[in-house]
Structure 1
Amino acid sequence: MGKGGRIVCIFTPYVLTIASLICIVMVGLGCTKSSSSTLDNLYFFRINLQNITNGTSSTTAKITSAISDLAGVSDGDLSAALEEIEEQYNIQDFYTVGLWGYCSGNITNGNDYKTTNCSKPEAEFWFNPLEVWNLEESGLENALSSSVKKELKVYKSVSKWMFIAYIIAFIATIVELVVGVFAICSRWGSCVTTLVSAVAFLFTTAASVTSTALFAVLKGVFKAELASYGVKGHMGKNIYVATWLAVAFSLGASLFWLLSTCCCSGRSPYNHRNTARAVTAEKAPYTYEPLGPYGQPQQPAYTNTAYPPPPPPGHVPMQQQNGRTNAYEPFRHV
């Protein structure tokens, strides 16, 4: 198979690698632009504060009771603090968490989520409710229970590892595309590309597993600790589809790169012809060759299969001794 066949052979893993890279990029672009409805729907986790911002009596009463026990403030002080947070700090109805930042917005009467603002992209981002909701400035940082604070610390540490894993997966996938060009030339190029694709697949899978498990646990924390206070949280959908599609495409690319190391050689069959050459043996001096039964050199093949073969024309038979033909095979000097 020549160069053309080699190009066709690596076309499939190359396309799968590009597809995996596109999915990883989509994960990174989630929650980065408020004016794009497509990017707004790419989020790991959404926090719904609509019941708090609407100021329903039952929710406010529960929050008042909980914070009074934890922070030791009176009902009057808490009501003033809640009004100050809503009016001065502009608490939104919902917050969505992405890889590089978060977005916030309001929920319309038709129950539509309208994003109004997105934070600036930040490396190793994690959503800090104390900072985003200005709980520290309002003096309500003690409103969160110790178990919630503990889970937030775990979330902070794991989210940093998740961010690093996505970055390594992104870089490894780009390197895989660059090195994959050299796979056209030889199987050694495919071998190197296979190793790079294995690294890309490993970190893409690790990042996807980490993000899915992390926010699944965070969802349970919100349901157990904060749902009774009107704070709800649920996981996104589109971003998880994108990240797991990246894993599937990366796995397929790795398998096809591996196959290209043992199949689809780039060498042309016309450059390696096995031309049959006639081998001539030179006779050494003082050698002997066997003679046939009639004193003639033996021929390699006969057209007549009868045995013994008929004597050549004009041949005189050998003399018999004692009525028998000589038992030895005669030789002649050549």
Structure 2
Amino acid sequence: MFLDFKRWVTTWALTFAFSFPSANYPRRVIQLLQLFFYRARTDWIHKEKFGYWIAEDLKKNAKREAIQDRISEANVIILWVPGGGFRFDLGKLYTSTFATWIRALEADKGIKSMVFVADYKRGPEELFPAAIKDIGEIYHWLVETLQIDPKKIIIGGDDAGVAIALDTLLNKIDPSKKPAGMICASPYTGLEAGGESWRANLGLDVLNENSITRMENCYLGIENDDDDIIEYEGGLSPFAYLRESVQLGSILPGRMLFYLGGKEVLLEEGGILANRASRSGIQVMVVQEPSGIHLWSMLPDVLIKDEQVRQYVVDRFVEFVEGTIKK
């Protein structure tokens, strides 16, 4: 009974947050959702200036030397760019999911791992390229300051976090230092609303046309009626990876994992990116759950009722990480 109530509240909160015009109320709703329903594993979290680490019982010994030792001992570091439509932060909702991933990797394959959940500037107060500058700085901090080998970094993102990660890889990370792998969970990549998955799933998902409008406005700014071309800082272009002229194989990691839901309006969008990546020579693994709505793979304990499906999601994650690190 409680799980059904939690599922209903979560679905309502996400639908409201993604579609409400102002950013302030959605942020408060997501904060309250986290406070009342997603407080598990707080002892796994250690805050840093750029975000926070997640690892088992991390709070027991949060001294700098101890954390550095755990980073050095880890076989893989997952840098996660949390979504939230470029407006709010969904990262704290995923702590239990990250904990499940970490434990499964060590139990099944003996792979030690840590997750770093990135903090970054969000709109409408901060527009492109503020977010990718933050993620670029975090990536360089991991590689240059903490001396983490890029070959053991997997970058991941959900929702709008995928677009930010893609823009960062294109504009802020030297291809010679790109991460070993990438995870895209319910990815938003900047395509306009429309397509078969929109026609089939509109009304079944937590996203709608208004959600996409809010996302665009909080990343790119509100379009002017006079059709003036917006010039962004440094001459950068958002969503430039969508251009067919961009060779994804040269900027993206060599292996990618996609989590797509059969009831997502963005299902087709994720499929297009996966197909382009595959055609560029990237090894692509796609996990699609027919009943999944937006963010189903990040909140499986709540949004997926079938325990076998939840286990399948974890198993594919472990398989992907093992293959990426071995490669």
TM-score bin, normalised by smaller chain: under 0.3
- Which has more radius of gyration? 1
- Report the TM-score when normalising by structure 2: 0.26
User: Normalized per residue, which structure has more strand?
Assistant: 2
RCO comparison, higher one (Cα < 8 Å, 6+): 1
